[in-house]
């Protein structure tokens, strides 16, 4: 069954948003110069939750998204293009939720490294998330552990 141009555009936008989320999540996970298996599993779970745990509109699985995100991150000069996309497409509530997910990733291995906290702070600032929401997200993630 042929898909309409609007369906294809919607799928492309969703793919781009999932890739953006994954790149930013990897930034946090890799900021302490090591990405533990438990952090990777947390990222996979968070990405999977974004689209109901199912495959990604014929574009592949969560692992495919992560593979693409690793490649994008390695080839990227910085985070600006990803944070700009987030600011343009996500509501403030969604950006605060994304910061909360960053804290979940950082706490996944049981240790918050100073570099992880700095990375979350940097990305949070680039997303224009208020400091009070940054702290609230940190405390919520801490309470979950």
22-79 pLDDT tens trace: 999 999 988 878 787 888 889 998 988 876 655 444 445 888 888 899 998 888 888 9
Q: Classify burial at 90, counting beta carbons within 10 Å of its beta carbon; exposed 0-12, middle 13-18, buried 19 or more.
A: middle
Domain ranges of the chain: 5-144
Q: What is the Cα–Cα distance from 96 to 108, expressed in whole angstroms?
A: 18
Q: What pLDDT does 126 receive? A: 96
pLDDT at 38: 85
> pLDDT tens digits, residue range 36-51?
788 888 999 898 887 6
3-state helix, strand and coil shares in percent for the chain, rounded to the nearest 5: 75, 0, 25
Question: What is the architecture of the domain spanning 5-144?
Answer: Orthogonal Bundle (1.10)
């Amino acid at each position: 069954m042929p898909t309409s141009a609007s369906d294809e555009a919607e799928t492309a936008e969703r793919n781009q948003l999932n890739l953006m989320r994954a790149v930013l999540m990897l930034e946090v996970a890799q900021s302490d110069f090591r990405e533990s298996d438990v952090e990777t599993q947390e990222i996979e779970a968070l990405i999977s939750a974004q689209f109901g745990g199912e495959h990604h509109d014929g574009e592949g699985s969560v692992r495919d998204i992560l593979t693409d995100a690793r490649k994008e991150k390695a080839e990227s000069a910085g985070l600006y293009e990803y944070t700009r996309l987030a600011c343009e497409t996500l509501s403030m509530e969604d950006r605060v939720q994304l910061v909360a997910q960053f804290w979940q990733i950082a706490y996944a291995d049981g240790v918050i490294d100073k570099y992880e906290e700095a990375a979350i702070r940097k990305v949070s600032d680039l997303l224009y998330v208020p400091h009070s929401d940054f702290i609230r997200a940190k405390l919520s993630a801490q309470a979950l552990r």
